[in-house]
Amino acid sequence: MIPYGRQSISEEDIAAVIEVLRSDLITQGPVADVFERAVADYCGVAHAVVVANGTAALHLATLALGLGPGGLLWTSPITFVASANCARYVGADVDFVDIDPATYNMSVDALAAKLGVAEAEGSLPDVVVPVHFAGASCDMAAIRELSQRYGFKVLEDAAHAIGGRYRDRPVGSCEFAEVATFSFHPVKIITSGEGGMIVTNDEEIAAHARLLHTHGVTRDESIMIGSSHGQWYYQQVALGFNYRITDIQAALGLSQMKRIDEFVARRNEIADVYREAFADLPLLCQEIPDDVLSAYHLFMIELERHDRAYVYERLREFNVGTHVHYIPVHLQPYYQDLGFRAGQFPNAEAFYDRAVTLPLYPTMTQEEVETVVSAVRTVLSE
């Protein structure tokens, strides 16, 4: 079965990991610092804090933004559950903004309309989380304008989009957001096994996230209460977590950064082949705006007349491992228990009913790409 996503691990990646295994420090140490610097430089952003996974990055970002009980976070219903769960971790409420039916990203028009209503009702969000779905950036300039008008903070969930670009800037530059987060899970653009990162130009957000990712414990005298007792002294000044990454993982992530542009270029190449090969079929593909370079974490087709379950199963008969991204978050039982109902976000629900994710990863061979193309052409001609 050709999987929908797969990591690409080189001999150089393996050597980098082995080097750490032979060293003295295998938990978070000097390689994690270098990995942070490499990602920050790549994104053109001032600060980066590497953590155990992308979910931890979202959790710490919401805390660093000051979200808490009584707070409100809005995100897209078409995302992985973590984009919404980060609000629940800190005791805040969640609401969703429907997607744009062409780009599948949070609709800026729907966001503007919902903000207008919320302003009148006194229920404006504190934080909005745009998710760069499948690797294609949201319209961040438009979202920034709304954030300035309505006073909310912007946390970009860029789990799909490292290596992508928006208006000639790398995703994660934080030009239009307070903070952005990445995931380095193996199906994402680069991997560290498990891993995540918080990037920001705000020194306070970075310092807060850094403190909380290691128990809220510090050895920095400048943030201690009173004075240090000596070289051995540390203080817990906040309630933090153990969200550190290991240097074993950081070494893999750092080594993968060398090939990030190659990965994104190959993903775009395969996506172009799919788009051309499917042009005459009864399906839609994600619209990518001219000012966006997608990192192409995912490639999905939206069926115009075929039944999704049928296509999903038929493609598997051709060894094409399909997947569905995503089940709308508000339809999950956990969110239904919080009062969300089917019918609330119709574009997201219609998209879910018709979407099928096809295999896309940089090590796909020409033959595998052709297998996918011919299977899709066969099944959609039935």
Ligand X SMILES: *Cc1c(COP(=O)(O)O)cnc(C)c1O
Chain residues that interact with ligand X, rule: CB under 6 A:
53-55, 79-80, 82-83, 131, 157, 159-160, 183, 185, 196
User: 131 or 288, CB closer to ligand X?
Assistant: 131
User: 126 or 157, CB closer to ligand X?
Assistant: 157
The pair of structure tokens assigned to 223 is 């943030």
- The one-character DSSP state at 29 is S
| Residue 198 CB, nearest approach to ligand X (Å) | 12
| Residue 83 CB, nearest approach to ligand X (Å) | 5
The pair of structure tokens assigned to 50 is 């590497």
User: 160 or 267, CB closer to ligand X?
Assistant: 160
Please tell me the distance from the alpha carbon of residue 86 to that of residue 63, in angstroms, as a whole number.
9
Chain residue at closest Cβ approach to ligand X: 54
| Residue 131 CB, nearest approach to ligand X (Å) | 5
User: 7 or 55, CB closer to ligand X?
Assistant: 55
The pair of structure tokens assigned to 290 is 């001219």
| Residue 347 CB, nearest approach to ligand X (Å) | 18
| Residue 184 CB, nearest approach to ligand X (Å) | 7
Q: Is the distance from CB of 360 to CB of 271 less than 8 angstroms?
A: yes
Q: DSSP for 236-255, please give it.
A: E-S---B-PPPHHHHHHHHH
| Residue 84 CB, nearest approach to ligand X (Å) | 9
User: 132 or 153, CB closer to ligand X?
Assistant: 132
Helical ranges in the chain per DSSP H: 11-21, 30-43, 54-64, 82-89, 108-121, 140-150, 203-212, 247-257, 260-277, 308-317, 333-337, 346-354, 366-380
| Residue 39 CB, nearest approach to ligand X (Å) | 14
Q: How many CB atoms lie within 10 A of CB 225?
A: 6
Q: Which residues pair with 106 in a beta bridge?
A: 99
Please tell me the distance from the alpha carbon of residue 50 to that of residue 35, in angstroms, as a whole number.
8
The pair of structure tokens assigned to 302 is 């939206």
The continuous run of DSSP H or E covering 154 comes out as strand 153-157
User: 3 or 145, CB closer to ligand X?
Assistant: 3
Please tell me the distance from the alpha carbon of residue 335 to that of residue 299, in angstroms, as a whole number.
27
User: 153 or 185, CB closer to ligand X?
Assistant: 185
